[in-house]
Chains A and B, each alone.
Chain A
Amino acid sequence: MSTEMYTVSSSPHIHSKDSIQSIMRDVFIALLPAALVGVWVFKFQALIVILLSVASCVGAEALWQKLTHQKISVNDYSAAVTGLLLAMNLPPTVPFWLPIVGGAFAIIIAKQLFGGLGQNFINPALAARAFLLASWPVQMTTWTIDGVTTATPLGILKEGGEALPSITDLILGNVGGCIGETSAIALLIGGLYLIYKKVISIRIPATFIGTVLILTWILGRGGMFYPYAIYEIFTGGLFLGAFFMATDYSSSPVTVKGQYIMGLGCGILTTVIRLYGGYPEGVSYSILIMNLAVPLIDRYTQPRIFGEVK
C-alpha cells in the first residue's frame, strides 16, 4: 500500500482568476481618468491632496491591522480606492491636514470598527466627507484657486451670482468643484470600464442618473418640464456618486431588484436635496441615507428561486 497523500478539499477544485485585489485594482484604474482631469484643472494642489488622502487611508489600515494583530491586507487596494475616492470628493483648496484626518476617519471609524473589508454599512469615503463637512464646513466649501473664487455650477444654480459655465466645460471638467467630480466624461469612461469588466452592473448608475434626470425635468427649478435637466445631471458629483459610490459593494444591495431600488432612492433623494434642500448638492447624503436602508432592501427583495412554489 502506498502512503502518498494528496491534498483533499471540498469541491469545486478550480476557481476564477478574479480576486478582491483584481477588482479593487480595476476600480482604482477606473477612477484615474477623472482624477487626472482633476489634477489638470486644479494643478499641483489637487495632486498633493490625492496623494495625502491615499497615503492616509493605506497607512491607517496598515497601522490598525498591525495594532489589532490582524493580517495586513493593504495590498488588496481597497484602502487605496477609499483614499482616492475621498480625495476626489474634496475641494482642491483644502488644507493638507484635512485629507489625512479624513482618510484616517474613513478607514478606522467607518470601515475597521465595523469589521473591516466588506463589513462597513456605509461608504467609508462618503462617511469621511460628511464628517469633514460637518466639522470644517468653511474649508470644505471654499473653492478658491490662485485667488480666484470658482463657484460650483450647482452653487450658482442655487444661489445665483455668476454666469453658468457652458455644458461643454461641464462635460469636460473645466469647472469648479471637488477634485474628482468635475469631468462627467472622464467619470463615464471609468464607469463604463467597470461595467465592461463586470465589476459593477449598470443597474444602480443607470437608475440613479435616470431618476435625477426625469425628476429634475418634471419638478425643475422654477416649474415643470425644466429644460436644464440634462445640464444638471452633468453637475455636482452625480456621475462620481452613481458609478463609484452608490455601487460600493458592502453598502449596496446584492439583489437585482434591490439595486434598482437603491438607484431610484438615491435619485429621488438627490433631486429633492438639490431642489429643495439647504445644500446645493445632494449626491453624498442621498447615498449615505440609502446605505442605511440596504439591509432592509436586501431582506425584502429576495429573488424568487428556481422552482419556488408559493
Chain B
Amino acid sequence: MNSQSLRSRRETLAHYYHKVPATVFLLFGMILFFSLLSDKYFTVSNIMNVIVQCSSGVGIVALASYLAICSTGVDLSLGGIVSLSGMITAKILTWDIPLFSQIRNNNPVFLLLIAVTAAIAAGAAIGSMNGLILARTKIPSFIVTLGMYKICETFSRVIAGGTTIRINGLPLFEFIGNGSLLNVQIGRRSIGLLPISMIIMLLLYIFFSFVMKKTRFGTYVYAIGGNNESAALSGINTVLTRYRVFLYGGMIAAFTGIIFTSRLTSASAQNGLGLEFDGIAAAVVGGAAMSGGRSTPGRTLIGALIISVMKNGFNMIGMSNSIQMIAIGCVLIAVVSVDTLRNRRRFV
C-alpha cells in the first residue's frame, strides 16, 4: 500500500469520525460505564426497559422540541398537550353518555379509534393555535407556548373533574403502552422485544427524518433556523412554515399523551407536565442549537436515549434522585461544551 492511499484512507476515517456525532460515543460510553457498575444493567430486559421508558416519556416529545428549536422557537406547551390529549383519550374511553356507552359495548375498537383521533386532533388544535398566535403577533414563542401550557393543564383538570380517570377492561388500549408484538420468556417474566410504544416512536422519527431531509418543508425549517430574514427574502413563507412546525409539534406530543394514559391505565392532569423541559434537554444534547437550524431527528433520538439511559442507569446503581439531577445537569452542560469545541476545531 503506498503512502498516498494510506493517507487518503486515514482522511476517510477522519471524515467518518467527524460525521459521527460525539453523542454516539457518549451514549455507548455511558452504557459501558453503567454495565461496569451494575451486573444487571446490560441485560435484554433492562435494555428494553430503557427503550420503553424513552418512547413513553421524553422520546417522542423530544422530536417536537427539536422541530421548534430548529426553527429558532421553543415549545413549552408540549407537557400540557401530553396531559390534555391523554385526558381526552381517557374521557372518551370511559364517558358515561348513551352514545359512547353504546359504541363501547358494540364496537370497542371503533371507540378506541375515536379516542385516539380526538387526542391527536386536540394536539393539532393546540399546536395550530400556538402557530396562529405566533404568526399574527410578534410575541416570542416561549411566552405564547407557556400560556398555552397553562391553558392545556387547566382544561385537563376540568375534564378530570379533580380526580384520576381510570380505564378498566379495555385490553386493546392497554396494549398501546404496555404491549409488544414479539415477546421472549426469560425465567418467569415475558420481555417485549417489539414494544408498540417503541414502534410508534421509531415510525415518527423515520417519518420526520424523511420530511426534514427530502421535503421542501424540511429545507425551509433549516433555512429559517439559519437566517430568518434571508429565508424570507428568498421567498420562503416563513410564517406558514413556523405555523406548521408548531402544528406538527402538537400532534407529535399527543402521541405521548395516548401512550402515557395507556401505560398508567389512567389519566391524571399531572401526567406529562414537565416533559417539555426533558424534551428540550434531549434535543440540545442531541446537537440542536437554540439559535436554530442545526441537528436532525436521528441526533435528537440519541439525545433522548442518553437522558433515558442516564436516569435508568443512576437508578440501577442506586444513586439517590437528588444527586442524579446534578449528574444530568453536568452531562447536559458538558455535552454541549464538548460539541461546541469539537465543531470549532473542525471548522477552523
A is bound by B: no
- Give B contacts to A, CB under 8 Å: none
